[in-house]
Amino acid sequence: MAEQYLKTESDILIIGAGGAGMRAALAASDAGLRVTVVSKSLLGKAHTVMAEGGMAAALGNVDPQDNWQVHFGDIVEEGVYIGNWRMAEILAKEAPQRVHELERYGAVFDRTPDGRILQRAFGGHSYRRLCHVGDRTGLEIIRTLQDQIIHRENVTIFDEMYITNLLKKDGRVIGAVGMKMDKGEFHLFRAKAVVLATGGCGRVFKITSNSWESTGDGLGLAYRAGATLQDMEMIQFHPTGMVYPPGVRGLLVTEGVRGEGGILYNKDKERYMLKYSPQKKELDARDVVARANYAEIQAGRGTEHGGVYLDISYKGAEFVKQKLPSMYMQFMEFAGVDITKEMMEVAPTVHYQMGGVRVVPDTGATTVDGLFAAGEIACGLHGANRLGGNSMSDILVFGKKVGEGASEFVKNVELLDVDESVVNQEIERVLSLLKPEGTNAYDLIDELTTTMSDNVGIVRDAEHLQIALETILKLKEKYPAVGAPGGRKYNHGLLAALELGNMLVATEAIVRSAIMRPESRGAHTRRDFPKKNKEWLKNITIVKENDGMKFETIQVPEVPEELKQYVKPEVY
């Protein structure tokens, strides 16, 4: 007998309720459309909440010389010239408006003495540019958007809803099937357009700053629906994650620490950034600082727990507690370290996927009709390396853009009927994972994430990438045997089995792209190809074909003449 499922119809279905998803919902709500937002976790708990340091926007409040042109140049240069210039332009121009809008929604910010929004320094930004509230900016952003979204009458929210697959008809995405985890019920969502705002895939690595949710679900959904992925080899390592105790390994230590004056030392108390980056020192771009930290640890100059030292204590207890209250608590509670008196131990941790679903800059449209994407799941803006604070601007600027883009799209299309058998098939697929004798998904996830952290790290080479690829292919073969005991309701084992399917797509895309790029650029460093190569001023794209992933390279769109003056020419 066919399974029962609930049906919801809307103009736009938004998958993901982090900053990008919620901002997209507000835009579509402003357009007067019926919007459905689904979220894997509870509303307000998405990964955005973990952002600490701030949101980059060239307000020029503390450094009046700053403007969108400088911000634009910083993004293109630090993205090592393979980012999409148009996305960089949109972000640089519109981020200030999004900050002011957040303010009107009720977000709090730290302030200058005369009451304007305070901005702090961050790596790779030419001026002090990050609007922030202490070191809990993400919490404030998500709370503000949540408080807006919950009283919009045309927005319906389903939280703890896991989307298992997108549905297509005549080449167009027409909805999705989801499972409401807290109820164990299946849902069919019909929509004229679907927006992916599912965040990243940091969880495919063992050591990551990412929350439980970031398992690359959107990559799997988009890939299976035929959308193009791009730049998947570009995984950002944040230079400073906690290393001790083991349970918090990888947890983020905000770049705000360095922004406020934090200094990196090796175990010999040498300030080694003077050597790696004499000009920008601790505040160079993340790829540079992460590689420096890694190199010091590799050279045997690391700390007891395998990190380097980060010191802010010299600034005094009052300063530290005021500027970095969450960091103070985080180290006190988890590590028993008083950062106003002692140095922190830190090491690089997987933080962000620069790659993702290829989109049209102005609308967020993917290569599949009816499917849109924004935020970490979309790609192009950050190129080979993201600047700190640009992810918060990204989700708000492009969240709004995608909401508007999708709203425009739905004006000209009808809601299509969904074939019941397709829904039943998908439900059956999910339920087939409920088998007590199945292979434990967590065991496979452990093997997958371990191989990624061991072999696809900051510095890569052909040999280790090959080891990772072989492990991934072996796990892909084992995947059909995966199963979870228990029932439908709130079953973590079942969820892990579903997530693993997406994690396998994400990891294969990352590793094959990394093998394909024989150069070192931005976050992608090859031991066997240590130099940047002009021939590789390209993006690697991936689409699904019958026999697996098909890879191509495409030229990076050239910066138009009128904008070239804001970008330093690339040097090889």
Partner 1 sequence: MPSENYVFDIERNDGKGSIRHDRFQVPKKKISTVLEGLTYISENLDGTLAFRHSCRMEICGSCSMSINGKPRMACSTIADSLNSEVIRVSPLPHYEVIKDLVVDIDPFFEKYKSVKPYIIRKDEEEHNKELLQTPEQFKLYEQYSMCIKCGLCLAACPISGSDENYIGPAALAAALRYNLDSRDQGSNVRLDITGGENGTALCHYAGECSEVCPKDVDPSKAIQILRRSGIAHELKQFFRREKDARR
Query: Which residues are annotated as catalytic?
Result: 238, 258
Q: Which parts of 456-560 fold into alpha helices (H)? A: 462-478, 492-516
- Binding residue (CB under 8 A) for partner 1 from 86, 429, 492, 538: 492
Q: Which residues pair with 59 in a beta bridge?
A: none
Residue 50 binds to partner 1 (criterion: CB under 8 A) = yes
By C-beta, is 252 or 452 nearer to partner 1? 252
By C-beta, is 332 or 554 nearer to partner 1? 332
Residue 103 buriedness (CB in 10 A; 0-12 / 13-18 / 19+): middle
Under rule CB under 8 A, which residues in 210-239 are in contact with partner 1?
211-213
Under rule CB under 8 A, which residues in 446-485 are in contact with partner 1?
446, 484-485
- Binding residue (CB under 8 A) for partner 1 from 32, 245, 316, 548: 245
Distance in Å, CB of 49 to partner 1, minimum: 5
Distance in Å, CB of 172 to partner 1, minimum: 33
Segment lying near partner 1 (by CB under 8 A), choices 132-140, 339-347, 388-396, 538-546: 132-140
C-alpha 244/C-alpha 23 separation (Å) is: 36
Distance in Å, CB of 496 to partner 1, minimum: 7
Residues 398 and 93: beta-carbon distance below 8 Å: no
Segment lying near partner 1 (by CB under 8 A), choices 359-367, 437-445, 503-511, 550-558: 437-445
Say how many C-beta atoms besides its own lie within 10 A of residue 315's C-beta. 18
> What's the CA dihedral at 274, 276, 282, 286 to 10 degrees?
180
Residue 6 binds to partner 1 (criterion: CB under 8 A) = no
> What's the CA dihedral at 402, 405, 406, 411 to 10 degrees?
160
Distance in Å, CB of 248 to partner 1, minimum: 7
Q: Count the alpha carbons within 13 Å of 183 in the hemisphere toward its beta carbon.
A: 13
C-alpha distance from residue 459 to each of 65, 102, 520, 525 (Å): 37, 38, 9, 5
Residues 6+ apart with CB under 8 A from 550: 542, 543, 544
- Binding residue (CB under 8 A) for partner 1 from 129, 136, 382, 521: 136
Residue 442 binds to partner 1 (criterion: CB under 8 A) = yes
Distance in Å, CB of 187 to partner 1, minimum: 17
Residue 257 buriedness (CB in 10 A; 0-12 / 13-18 / 19+): buried
C-alpha distance from residue 509 to each of 163, 203, 206, 473, 535 (Å): 21, 15, 17, 12, 21
By C-beta, is 156 or 326 nearer to partner 1? 326
Under rule CB under 8 A, which residues in 98-127 are in contact with partner 1?
100-101, 103-106, 108, 110-117
- Binding residue (CB under 8 A) for partner 1 from 6, 7, 147, 463: 147
By C-beta, is 29 or 491 nearer to partner 1? 491
Residues 130 and 255: beta-carbon distance below 8 Å: no
Q: Which residues pair with 320 in a beta bridge?
A: none
Residue type, 527: R
CA 544 to chain centre: 22
By C-beta, is 152 or 538 nearer to partner 1? 152
- Binding residue (CB under 8 A) for partner 1 from 12, 17, 31, 49: 49
By C-beta, is 116 or 550 nearer to partner 1? 116
Under rule CB under 8 A, which residues in 170-189 are in contact with partner 1?
182
Q: Which residues pair with 39 in a beta bridge?
A: 159
Distance in Å, CB of 86 to partner 1, minimum: 23
Residues 211 and 529: beta-carbon distance below 8 Å: no
C-alpha 71/C-alpha 518 separation (Å) is: 29
* Lookup result for tokens 């100059």: 301
By C-beta, is 214 or 507 nearer to partner 1? 214
**DSSP per position, 209-265:** S--TT-S-HHHHHHHHTTPPEE-TT-EEEEEEEE-SSGGGTT-B--THHHHTT-EEE
Segment lying near partner 1 (by CB under 8 A), choices 286-294, 330-338, 454-462, 471-479: 330-338
Distance in Å, CB of 358 to partner 1, minimum: 28
Residue 489 binds to partner 1 (criterion: CB under 8 A) = yes
Query: Mind spelling out the 3-state secondary structure of 204-222?
Result: HCCCECCCCCCCCHHHHHH
Residue 257 binds to partner 1 (criterion: CB under 8 A) = no
- Binding residue (CB under 8 A) for partner 1 from 152, 261, 474, 493: 493
Residue 45 binds to partner 1 (criterion: CB under 8 A) = yes
Q: Which two tokens stand for residue 143?
A: 């709370």
Segment lying near partner 1 (by CB under 8 A), choices 248-256, 300-308, 402-410, 521-529: 248-256
By C-beta, is 94 or 284 nearer to partner 1? 94
Per-residue buried b or exposed e for 509-531, using 16+ beta carbons within 10 Å of the residue's own CB: bbbbbbbbbebbbbbbbbeebee
By C-beta, is 42 or 299 nearer to partner 1? 42
Is the backbone of residue 478 left (phi > 0), alpha (psi -120 to 50) or beta?
Answer: alpha
Residue 43 binds to partner 1 (criterion: CB under 8 A) = yes
Residue 444 binds to partner 1 (criterion: CB under 8 A) = no
Q: Which two tokens stand for residue 505?
A: 């797509």
Distance in Å, CB of 543 to partner 1, minimum: 32
Task: Number of residues interacting with partner 1: please give it, by CB under 8 A.
Answer: 66
**Which residues lie near partner 1 (CB under 8 A)?**
41-47, 49-50, 59, 97, 100-101, 103-106, 108, 110-117, 133, 136, 138-140, 143-144, 147-148, 150-151, 182, 211-213, 245-248, 251-252, 326, 329-330, 333-334, 440-442, 446, 484-487, 489-493, 496
